[in-house]
Amino acid sequence: MTAVDFTHDPNRRSWVTSAGSGDFPLQNLPFGVVAGADGEPRGVVRIGDTALHLSGLAASGLLTGEAQAAAEAAAGGTLNTLFALGSGPRTALRRALHALLIEGAPHQEAVAALLTPLRDVDVLLPARIGDYTDFYVGIHHARSVGALFRPDDPLLPNYKWVPIGYHGRASSVRVSSAPVIRPHGQLKAPDAPAPVLAPTRRLDFELELGVWIGPENRLGTPVRIDHAESHIAGFCLLNDWSARDVQAWEYQPLGPFLAKNFGTTVSPWVLTPEALAPFRIPFDRPEGDPAPLPYLDSPRHRASGGLDIELQVRISTARMRADGQQPHPITRSSSRHMYWTFAQLVTHHTSNGCNLQPGDLLGSGTLSGPDAGSEGSLLELSRGGTDPITLPSGETRTFLEDGDEITLSARAHRPGAATIGFGECVAVIDPAITYP
């Protein structure tokens, strides 16, 4: 686990004015990739509403040692090389950036010259994704969705033993703000003799956290639970768009495929494990649940394997936007509802020797809470499409309509720590194409 140190001190402020409020104070400093007017993608660190260009910083002579190595690694068009370096150089760069961005820091003029307002750049996908794996660690989601698909058998016997996961599609992962086109798929009504190909009528979001993988493990080499976090480069929000009608018809016996792989949206800012250090919590299990198998368990992991991050989903319909209404919160949840931690996911994923590589993406699975208002998907919010939710505009929704915009957000806060956030993971639903 990463230690809490002076870079987390909530009393410290940055001389970058916009860092004084919002998700991106001095204590956060997430990585990302942006392209300016020249279209060239460049690695940056976000502070307030600005992006600090790491190529410029690497050329400035203001960094030394591991911090310089990290800035050089992040200077290119993707963060894969930075991710591969692991926590040492990343932490060194965090400390160096802290020293340069804190109130009263030296070299402010030189550093200010490397800052670009985010309104002047395009924010891009932060890494070249080799493989994308999606898990299923939201036990409340698993139970309530299971009840819809398999009323007699909502939570399968393996759930409390196996961190269930499946491979998703890397090529269709897009960064926040890229629209999602309503996909076609085979739909079959229970009483219909045959399926039809048509635009999905049950398009849904899924509220997830993602992690970006850092240093690789070689094929054939499992990662032990106490080393698992050293393979995590950072965190993001992830929306695992899902076509529920397609999923219901196609998913047996090999799992979801076209119901999911038309698009996945991630937030652009890579929050580091270092930034999230103050928000670690013990990992535990409800009374009566089995302990994880030994390979997924350790004293250190039990002490601090969990994460406490508040999650929110808001919806905005086309009519709401036309009427000037704000996006409406429909879900508030938490990373506390993860039945398995990301460390356990890394260890389980590699337990058969499977190799994870820098820039690989893991999704948590839908992070629903146990209570009404904490459901991480419309499938749950609308009880399988039977019970529409009503929006302040008077509109109702069971599933997403064209023009609906879904915004995921996440924030970590606790007494004695500076609040930090993930920014937004947002996308609007575009109408289906004419096909075939």
Closest C-alpha among 355, 286, 336 to residue 131: 355
Between the alpha carbon of residue 193 and those of residues 188, 198, 343, the distances in Å are 8, 16, 46
**In 209-239, which positions are buried (b, 16+ CB within 10 angstroms) versus exposed (e)?**
bbbbbbbbbeeeebbebeebbbbbbbbbbbb
Q: How far is the CB of 399 from a second copy (least distance, A)?
A: 16
Closest C-alpha among 405, 133, 408, 426 to residue 256: 133
Give the orientation angle of helix 65-73 with respect to helix 87-101, to 10 degrees: 100
Tokens of 148: 């819809």
Of 185 and 305, nearer to a second copy (C-beta) is: 185
In the region spanning residues 165 to 184, those forming contacts with a second copy, defined by CB under 8 A, are: 165-172, 174, 181, 183-184
Integer Cα distance of 357 and 135 in angstroms: 17
Of 15 and 149, nearer to a second copy (C-beta) is: 149
User: In 64-106, where does DSSP find H-type helix?
Assistant: 65-73, 80-85, 87-101
User: In 211-312, where does DSSP find H-type helix?
Assistant: 244-250, 299-304
**DSSP β-bridge partners for residue 173:** 264
Which residue of the set 141, 184, 337, 348 is catalytic? 141
239 binds a second copy (CB under 8 A): no
Name the helix (H) or strand (E) containing 42.
strand 41-47
Q: How far is the CB of 95 from a second copy (least distance, A)?
A: 32
Q: Is 141 a catalytic residue?
A: yes
Q: How far is the CB of 68 from a second copy (least distance, A)?
A: 29
Of 55 and 177, nearer to a second copy (C-beta) is: 177
Site string for a second copy, 394-433 (x = CB under 8 A): ---------------------------------------x
Q: Which range, of 55-63, 107-115, 153-161, 337-345, touches a second copy by CB under 8 A?
A: 153-161
Q: Which range, of 64-72, 144-152, 301-309, 411-419, touches a second copy by CB under 8 A?
A: 144-152
The torsion defined by the Cα of 232, 44, 74 and 32, in degrees rounded to 10, comes to 40
Site string for a second copy, 290-329 (x = CB under 8 A): x--xxx----------------------------------
Q: How far is the CB of 183 from a second copy (least distance, A)?
A: 4
Q: Which of 4, 149, 318, 384 binds a second copy (CB under 8 A)?
A: 149
253 binds a second copy (CB under 8 A): yes
372 binds a second copy (CB under 8 A): no
348 binds a second copy (CB under 8 A): yes
Q: How many CB atoms are closer than 10 A to CB 101? A: 24
Integer Cα distance of 55 and 278 in angstroms: 29
In the region spanning residues 108 to 137, those forming contacts with a second copy, defined by CB under 8 A, are: 130-131, 136
Q: Would you say 358 and 215 are in contact if contact means Cβ atoms under 8 Å apart?
A: yes
244 binds a second copy (CB under 8 A): no
Q: Would you say 177 and 361 are in contact if contact means Cβ atoms under 8 Å apart?
A: no
The residues annotated as belonging to the active site are 141
Q: Which residues bind a second copy (CB under 8 A)?
A: 130-131, 136, 146, 149-150, 156, 158, 161-162, 164-172, 174, 181, 183-186, 188, 194-197, 219-222, 224, 243, 246, 249-258, 261-263, 290, 293-295, 348-349, 351-357, 360, 433, 435-436
